[in-house]
Amino acid sequence: MSEFDAIVVGAGVNGLAAGVHLSQRGWRVLVLEKASAPGGAVRTEEITLPGFRHDLYAMNLSMFAGSAFYAEHKTALDAQGLAFVPVANSFASPFPIGNWLGVSTDLDKTTARIEDLSPADAATWRRMAQDFATEAPFVGGIMGQPMPSFGAVKLLIKAWRKKGLPWVRDMVRLLLASPRNYLDPRFESPEVRALMAAWGLHLDFGPDVAGGAVFPYLESMANQNFGMVIGQGGADTIIKAMVGVIEASNGEVRPNAEVAQILQSGGRATGVRLLDGTEIAAKRAVIANTHPSILARTLVPGIDKSFAAAAGKFRPGPGAMMIHLAMDGLPDWSASPELKTFAYVHLAPSYDVMSAVYHEAMSGLLPREPVLVVGQPTAIDPSRAPDGKHVLWVQVRVVPYEIKGDASGSIAARHWDEAKQPYADRVLDLIERYAPGMRNKIIASAVLSPLDLERANPNLVRGDSLSGSHHLDQNFLFRPAGGWSRYRTPVKDLYMVGASTWPGAGTGVGSGYMLAKMLAR
DSSP state of 458: T
Backbone angles phi, psi at 509, to 5 degrees: 50, 30
Exposed, middle or buried, 367 (CB in 10 Å: 0-12/13-18/19+)?
A: buried
pLDDT tens for each residue of 414-463: 999 999 999 999 999 999 999 999 999 999 999 999 999 999 999 999 99
pLDDT tens for each residue of 29-57: 999 999 999 999 999 999 999 999 999 99
Amino acid at 388: G
* Residue-level pLDDT at 138: 80
Q: Is the bond preceding 503 in cis, omega lying within 30 degrees of 0?
A: yes
* Residue-level pLDDT at 375: 98
DSSP three-state, residue 235: coil
Backbone angles phi, psi at 27, to 5 degrees: -80, 145
**Domains of the chain by residue range:** 2-84+234-313+468-520, 106-226
pLDDT tens for each residue of 307-359: 999 999 999 999 999 999 999 999 999 999 999 999 999 999 999 999 999 99
pLDDT tens for each residue of 155-200: 878 888 888 888 888 888 999 999 999 999 999 999 999 999 999 9
Whole-number mean pLDDT of the chain?
Answer: 96
DSSP state of 492: B
Distance separating alpha carbons of residues 494 and 263, to the nearest angstrom: 10
Question: 485 pLDDT band (50/70/90 cuts)?
Answer: confident
Distance separating alpha carbons of residues 164 and 184, to the nearest angstrom: 24
β pairing state of 279-288 and 89-94: unpaired
CA dihedral 293, 297, 301, 305 (to 10 degrees): 70
Q: Which fold has domain 2-84+234-313+468-520?
A: FAD/NAD(P)-binding domain (3.50.50)
* Residue-level pLDDT at 62: 97
